[in-house]
Amino acid sequence: MRTLLFLLQKEFLQIFRNKMLLPFLFIMPIIQLLVLGFAATFEMRNIKMVVVDADRSSVTRQIISKFEGSPFFDVVGIRLSMQAAEDDLKNDVASVIVHFPSNFEQNLYREGKAKVQLLANAINGTVAGLSNAYISSILASYNREIILEQYPQAGKGGSGINVTHSFWFNPKLNYQTYMVPGILVILITTIGLIVAGLNLVSEKESGTIEQINVTPISKAVFIMGKLVPFWIIALGELAFGLIVAKLVYNIPFVGSIPLIFFSAAIYLLVILGLGLFFSTLADTQQQLMFIAFFFIMTFILMSGLFTSAESMPQWAKWLNIVNPVAYFIRIIRMVLLKGSTLADISGILFSLGMYAFVAISAAVLRYRKVS
């Protein structure tokens, strides 16, 4: 125990003497949380639209005014020909074209129906799909107004069924409530997986690790000496990040904060264990960065932070079993936003505990005491 305390003292001195490392540990994560919390959004607003109004009637002007008044669209121009509008689409001046053909108003009132053409840039399928949904909603709303205007009695009968709805856990559908906890997980993951690994590899490159290798310190004690300082720092980053999440983004803290830290303590053992294991495979910091970048990118993209993990194909779901980031993002959202208890997440915590044991054991076994 005394040997471990001396090692911890040495590691903390090295960390706080490293002027390049301190900003990376304490300043950059907070800046990233502040920037990404506002920038990473699923909301689609100000979609650039071009309208081709070949009819130039009062009806098309009313519909165009509805598009202009919507927060989802930015009408950048009204064209008289499809060729000009298609040029705007190809040149990225606009993402959506709405085409009102000639005789639109006449067909609407005489025949009771009229056609509208929608063309969308579907390179980004999400934007194209949402644009279609928003435009269809606006047109359907205007269609109901016309029906009520021509047949006032249609709105008096009532359907006899009154449907109400509510959204649990995120009533206002605020994307920050969903995204910020996940972003916080990514930040502490980066500290654990990259910084802890770089710390060990940098000693290999500088040769200072040889002084420890000739001492009777066991491999397990040495690995724990490398793990514990960053485990404490990452928990401190989590605490500060939660404060920022509450003060800046007003994220609801429905569940138990101690349960969050207990879960984070187990999760960080996994991440730090993996980081130290990767460092035993690399001889240089460049090699470690390549290994860590591959795993971090895979973990993040499959974690469910940006896309739903439930929507992945079955083979990806099986592969996600070894993704610790997916486990902790699920935990922090369940506890913070739903108020889940220890009983609700006990299965996930057990999996993380087993993962931590395997990762740290692999790091200890793989570390070569004699260099």
Q: Per-residue pLDDT tens for 93-107?
A: 899 999 999 888 888
Does position 153 have pLDDT exceeding 90, yes or no?
Answer: no
Between 43 and 82, name the one with better pLDDT.
82
pTM of the model: 0.80
* Contact partners, residue 97, CB within 8 Å, separation at least 6: 49, 50, 51, 52, 82, 85, 86, 88, 89, 117, 118, 119, 120
Beta-carbon contacts of 292 under 8 Å, excluding residues fewer than 6 positions away, are 193, 194, 197, 275, 278
- In degrees and rounded to multiples of 5, residue 169 shows phi and psi of 70, -25
Superfamily of domain 47-155: abc type-2 transporter like domain (3.40.1710.10)
On the question of pLDDT at 152 being above 70, the answer is no
Give tens-digit pLDDT for 67-84: 998 888 999 999 988 999
Percentage with pLDDT > 70 across the chain: 93
- For residues 65 and 11, the model is more confident at 65
If phi over 0 gives left and psi between -120 and 50 gives alpha, with beta otherwise, what is residue 303? alpha
Q: Residue 89 contacts by C-beta under 8 Å, 6 or more apart in sequence?
A: 50, 95, 97, 119, 121
Q: Residue 264: which pLDDT band, with cuts at 50, 70 and 90?
A: very high
Whether pLDDT at 58 is above 50: yes
Q: Rounded to an integer, what distance in angstroms lies between the CA atom of residue 76 and that of residue 47?
A: 10
Rounded to whole angstroms, how far apart are CA atoms 15 and 232? 12
Mean pLDDT across 341-353: 94
Any idea where the domains of the chain sit in the sequence? 2-40+171-366, 47-155
pLDDT band at 278 (very low <50, low <70, confident <90, very high): very high
Q: Quote the pLDDT of residue 150.
A: 67
CA angle (143, 162, 150) in 5-degree steps: 25
Length of the chain: 371
Long-range contacts of 173-176 (CB under 8 A, 24+ apart): 175/40, 175/41, 175/42, 175/43, 176/37, 176/38, 176/41, 176/249, 176/251
pLDDT at position 110 over 90: no
Determine the average pLDDT of the residues in 166-189: 83
Mean pLDDT within 38-42: 71
Percent of the chain with pLDDT over 90: 30
Predicted confidence at residue 371, as pLDDT, reads: 46
pLDDT band at 272 (very low <50, low <70, confident <90, very high): very high
Q: Where are the alpha helices (DSSP H) in the chain?
A: 2-17, 21-26, 28-39, 58-69, 82-90, 104-110, 125-150, 175-190, 196-206, 209-213, 219-249, 257-281, 285-301, 314-319, 324-333, 342-366
Q: What is the pLDDT of residue 164?
A: 63
